[in-house]
Structure 1
Amino acid sequence: MTPIITIDGPSGTGKGTLAVRLAHHLGWHCLDSGALYRVLGLAAGRRAIDLEDAAALAELAAQLGVTFVDGRVLLNGEDLGDAIRTETAGMAASRVAAHPAVRAALLDWQRRQARGPGLVADGRDMGTVVFPQAPLKVFLDASADERAARRYKQLIGKGLSANLADLAVDIRERDTRDRNRPVAPLRPAAGALMVDSTALSINDVFELILEEVRRVFPDQVP
């Protein structure tokens, strides 16, 4: 069986950065499931598809030509760059991800990413729905205010305008939507390692989880 590590949690906890770093350290593949929904939201906007039209979104999801190459996200060969990392893209992703038909359309694609030598998958339902058999499941959390502050620094660092208060409101709204959606709600998987990163650096979190990886996969860690 392919070794799998799932990292779930709300937006802004650093799970994407952590997943990429962990996958690079282990020499494994990395699945950014959140990017799939961000790409779908972007593609829907380009085609003027209503984000509440579940049937049209599921049809689009089934034919979505997404590939991940060296940390880049490509849609039909187009490098999307930061276009899918905006707050607007994040909110669109949360809305399209609430549709059961959309999640079903993307489920098989995500599961096919599990291949040797191993996979680190980050998202909202990696451990609960997509890879419930994963030997190591992590749920990464942080306070909404801390996540808003991190996102603010990230956007300002990229030269983009941002409002801290608005980011905090957006994050809380997204949390509520993700935790209360009828299918695959955001919640810790059974047996997940719970990590609150509010007062921790990304290095602290990485070392903490790497120690758990060594325990679960003693023959896999360099």
Structure 2
Amino acid sequence: MNNNKITIAIDGYSSTGKSTVAKQLAKHLGYIYVDSGAMYRAVTYYAMIHGFIDEHQFNKEALISNLQSIEISFKFNSDLGFAEVYLNGENVEKQIRTLEVSGFVSKVATLPEVRSQLVKQQQKMGKDKGVVMDGRDIGTVVFPDAELKLFMSASAETRAKRRYKELIDRGDDVRYEDVLRNVEERDYMDTNRAESPLLKAPDAINFDNSNMTRDKQFEAILKLVDKVIDK
């Protein structure tokens, strides 16, 4: 493998294993990994703890006026082998992965002000290439010139099963039906929002991993990466 550093943009539906493969690639290539979804989750968590969003209301103006006080960073944890998310200096990796945050994140992510603020930060993180970023609009909005773009998909049931297993393994008390409903609702919101909806970039490679193990998926994607780097 030569030293041509590239930008790898991975988009797709929720729970398609985007961040799993992005972490694997970043580790293997020695690239920076940025979980853009975690950034939206961190903003959502901030909104929740400040009382800007709950089941009954969403005070968009309050969140927008506080965006300047939200600082999101990633710090590599060598014990875990990946970077954890910090919100204003506090490790919030576990707090942002709950089903409750998942339930609000699409609403927060539809705000143009939130997206534009985070896209700026993401583009700054990737300016020197050698970055793997995953999300919903990385290949279309954040890095339209990325050398490799992947669009990940899998059936809603497959994705809900994966997400359910993750949450149960972590000790969360959740029902499969609720997880499936959350996956379907997020699909609808992600694809139908006015601001940067989830779209496959014309030059992205469609990658359906419904019937793939993590190892098989990694091998297949690594071949695509090598092909681009060796060009």
Q: Normalised by the size of structure 1, how large is the TM-score? A: 0.93
Contact preservation (8 Å) 1:28, 1:116: no
Higher mean displacement: 10-19 or 50-59: 50-59
Consecutive unaligned residues in structure 1, runs of 5 or more? none
- Kindly tell me the number of residue pairs found equivalent between the two proteins: 219
Consecutive unaligned residues in structure 2, runs of 5 or more? 77-82
Higher mean displacement: 98-107 or 193-202: 98-107
Whichever residue aligns with residue 162 of structure 2, its letter is: R
Q: Structure 2 matches for 1:19-98, cutoff 5 A?
A: 19-50=22-53, 52-70=58-76, 71-98=83-110
Contact preservation (8 Å) 1:73, 1:80: yes
> d(CA) in 1 for partners of 2:190 and 2:93?
25
Higher mean displacement: 156-165 or 32-41: 156-165
SS in 1 for 2:73: strand
> d(CA) in 1 for partners of 2:166 and 2:49?
26
Higher mean displacement: 210-219 or 47-56: 47-56
SS in 1 for 2:95: helix
Residue 177 of structure 1 is matched in structure 2 by 189
Match of 1:7 among 7, 10, 19: 10
SS in 2 for 1:189: coil
* Cα shift at 1:2: 5.9
Contact preservation (8 Å) 1:9, 1:186: yes
* Cα shift at 1:205: 1.3
Deviations 1:102-133 (A, max 9, x none): 11121211100114460000000000101001
Residue 220 of structure 2 is matched in structure 1 by 208
**Structure 1 residues 184 and 2: CA distance shift in structure 2, 3 A:** farther
Whichever residue aligns with residue 163 of structure 2, its letter is: R
> d(CA) in 2 for partners of 1:60 and 1:215?
44
> d(CA) in 2 for partners of 1:135 and 1:92?
32
SS in 1 for 2:202: coil
> d(CA) in 1 for partners of 2:101 and 2:114?
16
Residue 113 of structure 2 is matched in structure 1 by 101
Match of 2:199 among 187, 210, 217: 187
Contact preservation (8 Å) 1:2, 1:115: no
- Tell me if 1:133 matches 2:145: yes
**Structure 1 residues 2 and 131: CA distance shift in structure 2, 3 A:** farther
SS in 1 for 2:125: coil
* Cα shift at 1:155: 1.1
The structure 1 segments of at least 4 consecutive aligned residues displaced by more than 4 Å after TM superposition are: none
* Cα shift at 1:61: 2.9
* Cα shift at 1:55: 3.5
Percent sequence identity over aligned pairs: 40
Whichever residue aligns with residue 58 of structure 1, its letter is: I
* Cα shift at 1:54: 3.4
Taking only aligned residues, the RMSD between alpha carbons, in angstroms, comes to 1.6
Contact preservation (8 Å) 1:55, 1:101: no
Whichever residue aligns with residue 18 of structure 1, its letter is: V
